[in-house]
Structure 1
């Protein structure tokens, strides 16, 4: 934890030890932010914090929490809402994918997915903006996905659709307060999740390498959009085109096309490696 007050702004990142979360932490540290890093694994948190302190010279506070646990989530919410040590930027990134169908999957797994991908985003966004609005300054970045535009993408798509609509609603409510909310809707991003799951991102994959995004490009583009006050961020022109098509096509058609794909392709969630 920080041993002395700092004049730098502070960003809190959930799921900060791997994938997009680790990249957000690095990018924000490089932009001059002190950090609060949140994840379940204490050892990985401490390693991440030590690396960030050494490389960027910023203060890094470690907060171990499983966001599916309501008591742990409340501890994170209290930190986000602190007036003694304000959080200027919240990045709701923590998440995971399930390689199972909704109707015959394990109920506890789907409940945990809802708690992490939806309830935690709701609770922390509310805690953050409740503290930021009186100060007249702050930013909330919620990690959605292009999958949230796809009816038929399983529980993951449903969860990301919630994140998208919640954030756009919040951005509208915050207009004129000085506080900004942005949802990033990336496509397929190269992260360690895909390697662990056997989902390659190179030319040997059934998916063309052209649709895969570099993790730093996604992070930098979405942070730029956040600080510019844009409510929706879709990194790269090709994925902007995909999201536009998904948005204007009849939902029944999108669902039929998606459900007509091989099951392995359907279960490749674009940003499930958070």
Structure 2
């Protein structure tokens, strides 16, 4: 991102955003270092995979804390500062999973649906303030998302993190209301949930995830 858009050297702040103190630690460090934020990019996220009742609860709760609570804390604090300045923006990284229920990724998809709805509402609240809010909805990305489980991502169907980052920032620069930075098919797949009964969508999504073996997930080391 620095090579593409310029800017100073990165300032690194280490914090676990899935814990109550994590986001507050980031905010304290920003104040202590005298740093101001022009663009808040809420990209931290995680998700559990497998049958909800058959998997441990703690990772599910961490998913909620990271994907929702941490995002809310940072957005509330930094968003107020941006509005006071009358400029800047917020990018919340959601997912194509936000548009439909996803059996065997139930808690993850639900958190991303929250991010989608929250971002759309906040964008309307901040319309006219000079602060632009955009949600990004990528599809599969070649990362370690499934590390520690038997699930895998087909690299042929996944975009690189660099590609997703560049397209998301380009869409933000164009002041788009939403970004679909992945392959065109990922955006197409968001439409069945808007047109079909949600029970049908859940069955289709569940059937696909079963075909990928997500109903039989085991932990690996």
Range class of TM-score, shorter chain: 0.7 to 0.9
Give the match for residue 240 of structure 1.
Answer: 187
Q: State the Cα RMSD in Å.
A: 2.5
Give the match for residue 219 of structure 2.
Answer: none
Displacement after TM superposition at 1:176 (Å):
0.6
**Structure 1: stretches of 5+ with no match in the other structure:** 1-26, 34-57, 203-208, 269-274
Report how many aligned residue pairs link the two structures.
211
With over 3 angstroms needed to count, the CA separation of the structure-2 counterparts of 1:165 and 1:125, relative to structure 1, is: same
**Larger relative contact order (C-alpha < 8 A, sep ≥ 6)?**
2
Contact 2:141 2:159 in 1 (8 A): yes
CA distance in structure 1 between the aligned counterparts of 2:129 and 2:33, rounded to whole angstroms: 18
CA distance in structure 1 between the aligned counterparts of 2:123 and 2:33, rounded to whole angstroms: 22
CA distance in structure 2 between the aligned counterparts of 1:100 and 1:214, rounded to whole angstroms: 24
With over 3 angstroms needed to count, the CA separation of the structure-2 counterparts of 1:82 and 1:90, relative to structure 1, is: farther
Give the match for residue 215 of structure 1.
Answer: 161
* 1:173-212 superposed Cα distances (whole Å, 9 cap, x missing partner): 111111111111111112243577561424xxxxxx3x42
Instruction: Return the structure number with greater strand share.
Output: 1
With over 3 angstroms needed to count, the CA separation of the structure-2 counterparts of 1:245 and 1:80, relative to structure 1, is: farther
Q: TM-score, normalised by structure 2?
A: 0.84
| From 220, 230, 235, the counterpart of 2:176 | 230
CA distance in structure 2 between the aligned counterparts of 1:157 and 1:219, rounded to whole angstroms: 21
Displacement after TM superposition at 1:95 (Å):
1.5
With over 3 angstroms needed to count, the CA separation of the structure-2 counterparts of 1:230 and 1:80, relative to structure 1, is: farther
Asked if 1:161 corresponds to 2:113, the answer is yes
**Structure 2: stretches of 5+ with no match in the other structure:** 216-221
Q: TM-score, normalised by structure 1?
A: 0.69
Contact 2:82 2:131 in 1 (8 A): yes
Asked if 1:92 corresponds to 2:42, the answer is yes
CA distance in structure 2 between the aligned counterparts of 1:200 and 1:163, rounded to whole angstroms: 23
